[in-house]
Amino acid sequence: MLLKKTLLISAFIFSFCAVSQNKVNYGLYNNNLNLINPAFAGQADNTSILINSKTQWVGVADAPKTSTVSLNIPLKENIGIGLNIINDKIFVFNQTQISLDASYKLKVSRDHDISFGIKAQANLYSGEFNTIKTAAKNDAFFAESVHNFSPNFSMGAALIHDDYYLHATLNTLLIDQRYKDLNSSKNKSKLHMNIGGGYTIKLNNYLNLTPSTLLTVIEGAPLSIDANTTLEINEKYDVGLSYSFNNSMQINTKITATNWLDIGYGYSIYTNKISPYQNGTHEFFALFNLDDIF
């Protein structure tokens, strides 16, 4: 029984870790950078709320799904705060992360600011094995469900200019164990670092080109490199291409529908081993500027 339980949980936790917050799980993260770095929390000029939905591996039963709500509020004296609720689900496993961000911005020159941020988060994990239908009707293991709670912290810094930005983040400063009864390295979060930046090139009065990149270093895992290029047209339409080395390619679009609403969509195709077994990934977001609504 113990061996069966360990093997089953290990198999799905390995998959679940791929969509957990050990790594950025957004192709459209440039529209809300505080999701990966708390130094950006509330540092825009307006209060905003982002709603994001990502459905991975279309055509695969019980494939990963991620839902996000993110609130950003600028306060007085260069202080910003953010609240994020992120839910990841795959098969019978579910992870919900609730985090509070706080940031403080310092002006270091006429054109440059440095922002520092900290993220405090609560992670809720569950595995509903009692929803699995098996031939063995009296198997006690499949009548169980497992749950766990663990806190964690992240911290980050960012150099911000009107035309470019650089940032770095240390994530999961505490090692948490997702399921207490499974002693496996795949059951534990890993310390990881994000380093990134972007630069906006003004091509003419109507076109801006912004290349950006994000490096993710996770303890015990290969280096992850995401490269992005976005073309902004007339400050209203965005078209972009993202490439995650040895993993996926994504086409991104965004439209500023009104002065208070941005809508975006991304479609990913995978270049890794799972590519033949699925039909890509869809991602949608809506970004509301609350100051212009109320």
What residue spans define the domains of the chain?
A: 2-292
Calpha distance 104→122 (Å, rounded): 22
Among 27-36, 50-59, 141-150, 174-183, the least confident range: 174-183
Among 18-27, 66-75, 235-244, the least confident range: 18-27
pLDDT value, residue 135:
62
Average pLDDT (115-133) is 86
Superfamily of chain region 2-292: monomeric porin ompg (2.40.160.40)
Average pLDDT (134-154) is 74
Average pLDDT (195-223) is 94
Average pLDDT (118-141) is 76
pLDDT higher than threshold 80 for residue 24 = no
pLDDT higher than threshold 60 for residue 109 = yes
Detail the DSSP E strand segments found in the chain.
Answer: 48-55, 65-74, 79-90, 93-107, 113-127, 146-160, 164-171, 192-199, 201-202, 207-218, 224-233, 237-244, 248-258, 261-270, 281-289
- What CA–CA distances, in Å, run from 291 to 47, 49, 138, 279, 294? 6, 10, 57, 39, 6
Among 101-105, 117-121, 137-141, 205-209, the least confident range: 137-141
pLDDT value, residue 272:
82
